[in-house]
Amino acid sequence: MAVLTAAQVRGSRTARLRRKIRDNLLAYAFMAAGLACFAFFSWYPLVRGVILSFQQNNFVVPPYWVGLENYRTLFDDPLFYTAWRNTLLFTGLALVFGFVLPFFIAVLLNEFRHFSGFFRVLVYLPVMLPPIVAVLLWRYFYDPGNGLFNSLLRSAGLPESQWTQSSSTAMISLVLVSTWANLGGATLMYLAALQGIQGELYEAAELDGASIWQRLRHVTLPQMRFIMLVLLLLQIIATMQVFIEPFALTGTSNPDTITVLVLVYRYAFTVNQDFGLAAAMSMLLFVVLGAFSALYLRLTRTAD
């Protein structure tokens, strides 16, 4: 039996490595292109935003380093706390409608035996509209003069409403727009998860005399737990970044509906015109969402 020398062993390993690289060269090229795009469009803006949050920068005069001054300015601004309060309120209301309602619609659609495809398209149709188009459509509905909703109220002999102009209805009006525009995606995800539940589980529950609500509680909800947790996390992250609805319907100066991202826009493009201050606000939102996501994943992992 021949004994290979150390040089021969190294040469054999080098040849295998070269052959492996050559065989996977195309895959490495595709991976490198993807990583380059991800780094340029995701990592670079994140790092640039962190640096910008410590600078005074309006892109007119050369930027200069101010350290934590931007963050001190934020905490001294009353609108900072108003924006966070409105954002949390919007998130809570959006979850009440946008997280629970799609589940019950999916349960209802799952029971349809005829025209199920038509109703699925009908539910998903608002998602296919560009967000700004959906918001402009609802702005017509909310118009205090000849809007659709006030026209219906007048026809019924009821008092008209200011909808987005009134402090008592402005936030809920924004939540209704967001729920309508995003309802279809969550509904179809729930529906797909429902159709993945084994029918034998429901048959066994029916044989045991379980009612509809008992089957929903003891069969459907446990089987849907994972997808519901994922959608809860995604919806919280999405709703805390709400921008289009308040920006297009109530503007950037309404204290009843100003949110974190609207305040970021206000800092950068209107009142302050300071991109460093806007970046600092964005970094705080990033930290809050990152901390929440980490805590959420930790708790769900512990629960499992």
Write down the pLDDT at residue 46. Answer: 87
Whether 134 contacts 180, CB under 8 Å: yes
For 251-255, what is the mean pLDDT?
86
Q: Which of 75, 136, 89, 49 is nearest to 259 (CA)?
A: 89
pLDDT tens-digit series, residues 208-221: 777 777 777 777 88
Alpha helices in 158-274 (DSSP H): 170-195, 199-207, 212-215, 221-223, 225-239, 244-249, 260-265
pLDDT tens-digit series, residues 83-108: 999 999 999 999 888 888 888 888 88
pLDDT tens-digit series, residues 164-199: 888 888 999 999 999 998 888 888 888 888 888 877
- Tokens encoding 282: 């964005």
Write down the pLDDT at residue 246. Answer: 93
Q: pLDDT grade, residue 42 (50/70/90)?
A: confident
Question: CA–CA separation, 275 vs 53, rounded Å?
Answer: 8
Q: Is 55 in a helix, a strand, or coil?
A: strand
Q: Is the pLDDT of residue 274 over 80?
A: yes
Higher pLDDT, 8 or 226: 226
Please give the angle made by the CA atoms of 283, 287 and 290, to the nearest 5 degrees.
135
CATH T-level topology, domain 76-303: MetI-like fold (1.10.3720)
Average of per-residue pLDDT values in the chain: 84
Question: CA–CA separation, 105 vs 116, rounded Å?
Answer: 12
For 42-59, what is the mean pLDDT?
87
Please give the angle made by the CA atoms of 92, 95 and 96, to the nearest 5 degrees.
90
Highest mean pLDDT among 111-115, 236-240, 293-297: 236-240
Write down the pLDDT at residue 293. Answer: 83
